[in-house]
Structure 1
Amino acid sequence: MQMELGSVKQRAGWWPTHQQDLLLRAALLQGQEAVAAWEQWQSITDLVADILDLGSYRLMPLVYHNLTRQGVTGPQMQRLKGIYRHAWSQNQVHLFKLNGILRLLTDAGIEAMALKGAALMLDYYENVGLRPVQDVDVFVPLAQRDKAFAILEAAGWVRRDIVPDSGLPLVHAIVLEDRDRGEVDLHWFVYPETCYPGADDDLWEAAVTHSLNDLPLLILSPADQFFHACIHGAAFNSVPSIRWIADAMTILQVAETIDWQRVVQQAAKRHLSLRLRAALEYLVEAFNAPIPASVLADLAENNTPTIEVEEFAALQRQQHDWKVWRRYHFYRFKYGRLVLDGAPYRGPTGFIDFMKEWWGIEHAWELPFFGVRKARTVLASRAMLAANRPQNAP
C-alpha cells in the first residue's frame, strides 16, 4: 500500500515550531546563517523571562557551543554558558549511574548496549555537555531480561512503571528508579513498534564496541544509530523532541559512512518507512542533509501495510486529538503491529485477549473498570510530573 507524503510543510504533528527552527539553525549551521538565526530568535524570545519548552531548553548547550565557535558574544552567552555547564554536570551524574549499571551487568555476564542520549554523547558529540539527558537507556538481550531485572532490583533499583509480568513481552522497556531518583530505561527491545523474539538480533550483530571507564559497552552501528534517532523523533510528543534533528545531523557529520541500504532495510523490516521518509525529507529540505535521493526513492518503494499507513496518518493529527483518543490509537496500533509480526491474537476476541495481557487481568468484564482506574492514575502522575518539572533551570 502506497501513501503520498506531500511537502513537509503540510505535515503538522511533530515538526519544530518557527522558534524551535531558529534555535536548530543557530545550533547546527555555520557562519552568518547561525548568527542570523540566533539574533532572530532573540528578537522574539526572552531567554530569562520567557518559559521555554523543554525541547528548546535542552538544545541550548549545543547552541552555546556553536555560537562560541562563530565568535558570538553578548550578555545572553553567559546565560547559555550556565545552561551548558549545568548540562555537563548533570550528564556526569548520569554517566556515573550508567557506569554502576554496566559493572553490575558485566559482572553477571550480561551484555549491555547504551541507547539514545548516553550513546550519542559518548560517541558523536564533542563533549558530554552538549547532549543533555534525563536518564540513561540500557539495552540487554531478551533472554537475559529477567536476570537483569533481578540484579538491578537487588542493587536498589525499583520499577517505576507498573507493568504486569504478562505484559512484559508486549513492551520494549520499563523505567527503573534508584533512591536518588536517578532513572534508567531498561530495554529488551529497542523499538516499541517491534516487540517480538529475534526483532533486534541484527542490531546486536552490527553493534560497535565502545567502553566506559574500561567497562565494555556496545552502541548501535552508525546506520542503526541514525535510523533510531530519526524514528525516535518522528513521533507525536506534546513537547516536540527537536533534539532528534540535532542528533541526526550530528551523526551524519561525524560518522565516516552510513550504510544507506541497511537504513532502508530496517525501515522495511520494522514497517516504519513512512515515518523515516518524512523525517529524511525534513532533514533534506530544512538542513540540506547529505542523504542520497535514491534512499528516498527506495523508501517510497517499500511495502507499507495498512496498519503502518493508518498509524502514520494518526500520528500527524494527534496534536488535535483528545488524550483518550490518542491512548485508544496507541493500543490499537500496538495490537495491530503485534499481529502483523506474528503474535497469536486471532478472531473477534483477539484485541480483548491482548488488553487482558497488557493490563494483567483475568476476565474481560474487568477491562472497563481497570481502564478508568488506569486513566485516573496516569493523569494524576502526569500532573504531578508537570508540576515538579523545573523551567529554565540555571
Structure 2
Amino acid sequence: MTSGALGLTQRERTLLVACLGSGAAAREAFAAWRPFANPVEMHGRELRLMPLLLANLRREGIDDPILPWLRGQAKLIWLTGMMRRRALTHALDALAAADIPVTLIKGAALLVRWPKAVDTRPMGDFDLLVPRERVRAALDALIAAGWTGPGSAQISDDDLDRFHALGLITIGADGTTRGGTQVDLHWRAAEAVSDPRHTEGLVRRAVAGGFEGRPVKVTGLADHLFVLLAHAFHDTVMQRYDWVAEGALLLEAGTPGDWDWPLFHRLCRRHGLEAWAGAALREIAAITARPLPAGADFPDTVVRSLRGRDVAADAARAADTTLPKLEAAFARARKSVGDSARLAAIGADALDLGSASAGASLVEGWSVPEAGGRWSDARAAILAFRAPEATIGERVALRLWLLPYLAAQVPRLDADAWAGAASERWSFVAGVDDSGCRTLTGRVCDWDGVPVIVVAFRFETLLTGVERRAFGLDHRLIGLRLSRVEMVRERAAPVIGRSLLLRDPSAERIAWSGWGGAEETGRWTVGEEAVLRFRLPQDGPVRAIRFHAPMVFCGTGAGQGVEVIVNGKPGRALVLPAKTGSRRAGLCPGATFEVDLPPGTRRSALVDLRLRIADPVAPAALGLSLDRRPIGLHLAEITLVPGKPPNKVSGWFDRLRSAWNGRRG
C-alpha cells in the first residue's frame, strides 16, 4: 500500500514520521511501525534509519525493549562512519596530489557542512565531483592510492557520455570489498540531468569549507537540495527513502541567508523537476510537521517526470524493457550509434569488452567496465561491431566468453541470444560452473555498405529491483558478464586431419563451446550441448565421423542420452552405455560410434557437429567428487571415415558413355 504522491509505502512513511516527527505523531508512528522491528526481517533501507530513530526516541523519552539493539546498531554505524571518513581523507589527498579539483556533493557535502548532525546518517559512500576531462587522471590517482575500480584505459568517451559516475572501493579488513569504503567519482552531479552546464554552474557556485584540516569545496544549499531531489526521482532501482531525512536536515539546519530559493526554482524548471520537487518538499513538511522555509514551496501541480511524462507512464515504460523482436536490435543500434565508424572492429583478434575501444559498440543495456568485462544491466542488452574482413550477408560463428550472475536466491538465468541468424536459448543454473564460452551463429548485416554484426540478449528471469534489495544482492539488473567476443568466418574454420585427439592443444580451435579443459585422455562435455566446428580435408571424400568416447557420466541407471546434430540435421541418437546391465549412476563405460555426414557433403566443406546431452550431471551432486560441472560424455578422439573410392572400371565406362553420347549429339 502506497501513501502520498511520492509512492512511499505506509510502512516507510510511518518509520519516517517516527524518525523525524515529534510529540504524539512520533509516538503513534513508532507504535504502528514497532511490529516490523525484527532485525532478521528488516529491509536494508530501514536499517539505515535506525540511528536516527534511536535519537528521536531519546528526545521523545520513549522507552522500549528494542533500545539496546538500536544503540548497538547506532554504535556500529558510527564506528563504521568514522573509519570511512578516514578513507575519504586519503581520497582527497590523492586527488590533491594529482592537482585534480574536487567538489563534494550529496553526503560528502553534508558531512563537511554539519559534521555532528550526520552522526546518525550512515556513510556507505562519498560522492566527489571532478571535471570530465580529469576523470581518467582521477581514476589513476585513486587506484594508485588503494582503491579498486576500472582503469583509465577502460573508460571511453562513450562511457563518459552514457554514465554520470563510477564507483571505486577499498579492500576491507577481510581482504574483500565487502567492508571497504566506496567513492563515487562523478563528472555529472546527477544521472537525470545530462546538460553539462548544470554541473559547470554547480562547481562555479560551490562554497569553501574544511574537512579534517583540508580546504575543500562543497555545493551550495540550493544546488545540494536540487541534486538530492533529482537523484531521488531517478532512483527507480534502489528506491531508497532516507533522502527524506537528508532533505529535512537541510531545511532545518540551513539558515535563511544561506538559501537561494530563486536559483533552486530556476534549476527545477530548467530540468523539468518543478512539480516533483514541490511534491517532495510538501511531503517532507508533512512528515516532520514543520513548515517549509519562506520562498521554498512551489504552486500545487501534478507530479510529472523530468521529461514531461506522467510518472505512471514512466513506470510502465521502465517495466517494458524487453525487445519485442530481437531483429529490432539492428534498428536500435543504428539509431543509438549513428555512424558505424564509431564501432569497434573485430578481425583475427578477439574483441575485449573491458577496453575503452569497445565503448561505442556497447549500444545499450551494459554497465560500466569492470575487471573481466562488462555486465548486462537491463532486460535487453545490445552489442554491435564492425567486421571489415567479412562480407555482407556472410554467416559467421561467434564465441562469447560469459559469466552468469547467479546466487542461491537466483537459481536460474534464461537468456535469448541473437546475432542475425536463428536465436539461441541459453540457460544457466546456480551451483553449476557454467561459465566460459558459448557459440552463437550470426550473419553480417548491411549498415550503409559497412559489414556489421549486431548481437542482442534478452533476459526473462531477472529479479526485480525490489527482489534484489530484499535478498541483499547487487541492485542492478545484471545478468551476464561478457568479457570477449571472437568471430570465425566459415571459410576460416580450421581444417581437421584424418584424426584429432581432443587432449591436444590444437583441439582448442575445433572444440568451440561446451567442453571442459584438456585432460590426460580427452575432454568432457559440459552442459547440455558441446560444439565441434571444422572443415573437411580436400584429399579424398569423407563418409562419416567416428567418435571414440571411452567414458560417460550418468545421473541414474537409465544411462546417458547423446544426440549428434550435423550441420543442423539430426545425425544419430543413442544411449550410453549400450548394455543395459552396465548402466548405473556415476562413471560408466562409453563406446565408439559413427555418424554419417549428410549426403552431398563435399571436400573441404564446413562441418558443425553438436553433441546434445540429455541429462548432464555434476559429480558433486552425486557425492562422488568436488567437480561441480554438469558433464556427460568424455570424448578422446574423432576420426574421419573415408568414403568408398570410385571403381576404376566403372569410371572408365562412364567416361566412354559420356563421350559416345556427345558424339551422337
Normalization by structure 2: what TM-score?
0.47
- 1: distance between equivalents of 2:19 and 2:465? 33
Q: Which amino acid aligns with 1:324?
A: T
- Match of 1:179? 171
Give the superposition deviation at 1:60: 0.8
Structure (1 or 2) with the larger CA radius of gyration: 2
Cα RMSD of the aligned pairs, angstroms, is 3.8
Give the aligned partner of residue 169 of structure 1: 161
How far apart are 1:250 and its partner, in Å?
Answer: 0.9
Larger RCO: 1 or 2 (CA < 8 Å, sep 6+): 1
* CA distance in structure 2 between the aligned counterparts of 1:379 and 1:301, rounded to whole angstroms: 31
Asked if 1:21 corresponds to 2:13, the answer is: yes
Alignment-derived partner of residue 5 in structure 1: none
Q: Secondary structure at the match of 1:216?
A: strand
**Residues 349, 199 of structure 1: CA spacing in aligned structure 2 closer, same or farther, 3 A cutoff?**
farther
Task: Give 1:280's aligned amino acid.
Answer: L
Structure 1 residues 57, 10: closer, same or farther in 2, change over 3 A?
A: closer
Q: Is contact 1:164-1:358 (8 Å) kept?
A: no
Partner of 2:346: none
Over 3 Å counting, the alpha-carbon distance change for 1:128 and 1:251 in structure 2 is closer
- Alignment counterpart, residue 87 of structure 1, candidates 60, 65, 77: 77
Q: Which moved more, 1:85-94 or 1:237-246?
A: 237-246
Q: 3-state SS of the aligned residue for 2:158?
A: helix
2:86 & 2:246 partners in 1: Cα distance? 22
- Please tell me whether the aligned partners of residues 105 and 218 of structure 2 are also in contact (alpha carbons under 8 angstroms): yes
**Cα 1:160–1:130 shift into 2, 3 Å:** farther
Corresponding position of 1:351: 336
Q: 2:306 and 2:231 mapped to 1: Cα distance?
A: 18
Q: Post-superposition shift, 1:199?
A: 2.9
Amino acid at match of 1:198: R
Over residues 170-214 of structure 1, what are the superposed CA-to-partner deviations in whole Å (9 max), with x where a residue is unaligned?
321011123332321100110112234433121112212222211
Identity of aligned residues (%): 23
Per the alignment, residue 91 of structure 2 pairs with 101
The reply on whether 1:136 has 2:126 as its aligned counterpart is: yes
Sort the Cα spacing of 1:63 and 1:307 in 2 relative to 1 into closer, same or farther, 3 A.
closer
- 1:176 partner letter: L
Q: TM-score, normalised by structure 1?
A: 0.76
What's the secondary structure of 1:94's corresponding residue?
A: helix
The equivalent residue for 2:141 is: 151
Deviation at 1:62, TM superposition (A): 0.5
**Correspondence for 1:32 among 3, 7, 24:** 24
Q: Which residue of 2 aligns with 1:283?
A: 284
Distance of aligned partners of 1:279 and 1:82 in 2 relative to their CA distance in 1, 3 Å threshold: same
1:382–1:185 CA distance, 2 compared to 1 (3 A): farther
1:62 aligns to 2:52 (yes or no): yes
Q: Give the 3 Å change call, closer, same or farther, for CA 58–315 of structure 1 in structure 2.
A: farther
Shifted more, 242-251 versus 123-132: the winner is 123-132
Deviation readout 1:94-130 (Å, 9 max, x if unpaired): 2111110000111222221222223224424634431
Q: Gaps (5+ residues) in structure 2?
A: 325-331, 344-359, 364-383, 387-446, 475-665
**Is the CA contact 1:234–1:279 (under 8 Å) kept in the aligned structure 2?**
no
Partner of 1:250: 249
CA distance in 1, matches of 2:16, 2:66: 17
User: Any conservation in 2 of the 1:85–1:129 contact (CA below 8 Å)?
Assistant: no
The CA deviation string for residues 151-185 of structure 1, in whole angstroms up to 9 with x for no partner, is 12222323259764422233210111233323211
Greater mean deviation of Cα atoms: 307-316 or 223-232: 307-316
The SS at the match of 2:197 is coil
How much does 1:68 deviate?
1.0
Q: Report if the CA contact (8 A) 1:274-1:309 is conserved.
A: no
Q: Match of 2:284, as an amino acid? A: L
Residue 36 of structure 2, aligned match among 45, 56, 66: 45
CA 1:86–1:126 in structure 2 vs 1: closer, same or farther (change >3 Å)? same
Q: Which runs of 4+ in 1 moved over 6 A?
A: 378-386
DSSP-derived class of the 2:127 partner: strand
Alignment-mate amino acid for residue 59 of structure 2: R
2:191 aligns with 192
Aligned 8 A contact 1:210 1:216 in 2: yes
Query: 1: distance between equivalents of 2:48 and 2:56?
Result: 14
1:285: how far off? 4.1
Q: Deviation at 1:368? A: 3.6
- Further displaced range: 155-164 or 260-269: 155-164
CA contact (8 A) 2:74 2:120 kept: yes
Contact 1:274 1:312 in 2 (8 A): no
Match of 1:112 in 2: 102
Deviation at 1:235, TM superposition (A): 3.4
Q: Does 1:72 align with 2:62?
A: yes
CA 1:148–1:210 in 2, change beyond 3 Å: closer, same or farther? same
The residue number in structure 2 matching 1:336 is: none
SS at match of 2:198: coil
Deviations 1:198-245 (A, max 9, x none): 331211122122222111222211111122222222334354311111
Contact 2:205–2:219 (8 Å) recurs in 1: yes
**Secondary structure at 1:201 match in 2:** helix
Q: Distance in 1 between matches of 2:295 and 2:464?
A: 47
Q: Check 1:284–1:382 CA distance in 2 against 1; reply closer, same or farther (3 A cut).
A: closer
